[in-house]
Amino acid sequence: MTTVKHKKRVFSGARATGRLHLGNYFGGVKGYIELQNNPEYECLYMAVDMHTITTPYNHKTLREDTNNIILDFLAAGLDPNKAVITIQSLVPEHTELAFLFSSVISVFRMQHLPTFKDKVKQYPSHVTMALLNYPVLMAADILAYKSDLVPAGLDQEPHLEVTREIARKMNDTYGTDFPLTQRFTTQGQYIPSLSGEGKMSKSVSGSYIALTDSLDEIRKKVRSIPTATTAGGQITGGIHTLFTLLKLLSPQDEYQFLQEYQAGTLKFVTLKDRVAEVIFEELQPFQCRRSELEQNPEYVERVIQQGAEKARGLASQTVREVKDKMGLRVGF
């Protein structure tokens, strides 16, 4: 019993912890769109709400937060005619596969992952089994579809290593045919924080610009990025963040501002206001589409339901195959 795959598969997801930000957009969503538009790939993109419950969260708002991720996906240009778009908890095969996979990877390996250690530091009184299992569930998301590629930011690389390790162990032990999934990188695979330290992150307030921020909010946030008093010298911290964003959004401006920076004539406020402007220019069409979609909840629900149906059809074949090869009973 082996699943036949006709096209190369792509899977990716975003956690339902707050609205998407520029890091998610450049590191994740831009890659999702590029691959959905390539007919060689069959793509699945999900709001991964089961991953959200691995750290403290608000169960009263989770359903709405999850829907907001789907709205962000659709407004950013994910197209249900080209990709499966749905919510992870509607595809229970992922959690079943995660349990099966948890039998081939050690607790020790999970405890030593940098991403696990970071979360332990962030939530010391919430170190749960679900948190430890986070990368195994992610491997199940990806391998349920035997995905070849995962468009994602640099921060997800340790999880992809675990995914490949699980695939190898499953193939060696049980004769499955899981691919060794690679990350698909975009130019914006690492967007630094507005604070100038570390990466832009949903869980660090003041570090990000949400895709739904207004021009005023964007301008205020960009103006508060720390910079030196005079231009010139090495580009680090907040100045690096400004130039990274400018490079992605308006390379011709980047060239000009760099010249001024190096000549020592750059006024940071001029650079900041230009960065805010180009961010807003990029986000404006997204924000218009998003408000239209907010008026059409029936359409969004249909996309989610149809996506879940397709995803279950594919994932259930993998689960049956794995159970069979592992010597378990396969139902009717």
Interacting residue ranges for ligand TYM, rule: CB under 6 A: 11-15, 23-24, 26-28, 48, 51, 138, 141-142, 150, 152-153, 155-156, 159, 188-191, 199-201
Residue 236 Cβ vs ligand TYM, minimum distance, rounded to whole Å: 17
Which amino acid type is present at position 43? C
Q: Give whichever of 198 and 232 is closer to ligand TYM, judged by the CB atom.
A: 198
Which residue matches tokens 């792509």?
A: 10
Task: Give the residues across from 258 on adjacent strands.
Answer: none
Q: Give whichever of 72 and 321 is closer to ligand TYM, judged by the CB atom.
A: 72
Report the chain's C-alpha Rg in angstroms: 21
Q: Give whichever of 104 and 211 is closer to ligand TYM, judged by the CB atom.
A: 211
Which among 107, 101, 106, 92 is positioned nearest to 171, based on CA atoms? 101
Q: Give whichever of 13 and 179 is closer to ligand TYM, judged by the CB atom.
A: 13
Which residue matches tokens 């090495």?
A: 234
Q: Give whichever of 191 and 231 is closer to ligand TYM, judged by the CB atom.
A: 191
Which residue matches tokens 């491997």?
A: 139
Report yes or no: 303 and 46 within 8 Å, Cβ to Cβ. no
Which among 183, 129, 189, 135 is positioned nearest to 163, based on CA atoms? 135
Q: For residues 145 and 311, what is the distance between their CA atoms, to the nearest angstrom? A: 8
Which amino acid type is present at position 54? T
Report yes or no: 113 and 105 within 8 Å, Cβ to Cβ. no
Note the residue count of the chain: 332
Residue 200 Cβ vs ligand TYM, minimum distance, rounded to whole Å: 4
Residue 170 Cβ vs ligand TYM, minimum distance, rounded to whole Å: 17
Residue 10 Cβ vs ligand TYM, minimum distance, rounded to whole Å: 10
Residue 201 Cβ vs ligand TYM, minimum distance, rounded to whole Å: 6
Residue 194 Cβ vs ligand TYM, minimum distance, rounded to whole Å: 11
Q: Give whichever of 208 and 231 is closer to ligand TYM, judged by the CB atom.
A: 208
The residue whose Cβ lies closest to ligand TYM is 27
